[in-house]
Amino acid sequence: METMIQTQVAVNGATFSLAPGEDVGALKRRIVDAVHADGAFVEFAVAGSRQISVLFTARTQAVFLVETVALDPWEGTDDTSPFGGSFDFL
pLDDT at residue number 22: 94
As for how many domains the chain has, the answer is 1
For residue 81, is it within any domain?
no
- Alpha-carbon distances, residue 51 vs 2, 34, 42, 80 (angstroms): 27, 18, 10, 28
For residue 84, is it within any domain?
no
**67-84 per-position pLDDT tens digit:** 988 887 666 555 555 555
Q: What is the mean pLDDT of each run of 10 residues along the chain (90 residues)?
A: 91 95 96 98 96 98 93 62 56
Domain range for 33: 3-72
β-bridge pairing 50-56 and 62-70? unpaired
pLDDT at residue number 69: 86
pLDDT at residue number 67: 93
In this structure, are residues 17 and 75 in contact, taking their beta carbons and an 8 Å threshold? no
pLDDT at residue number 24: 96
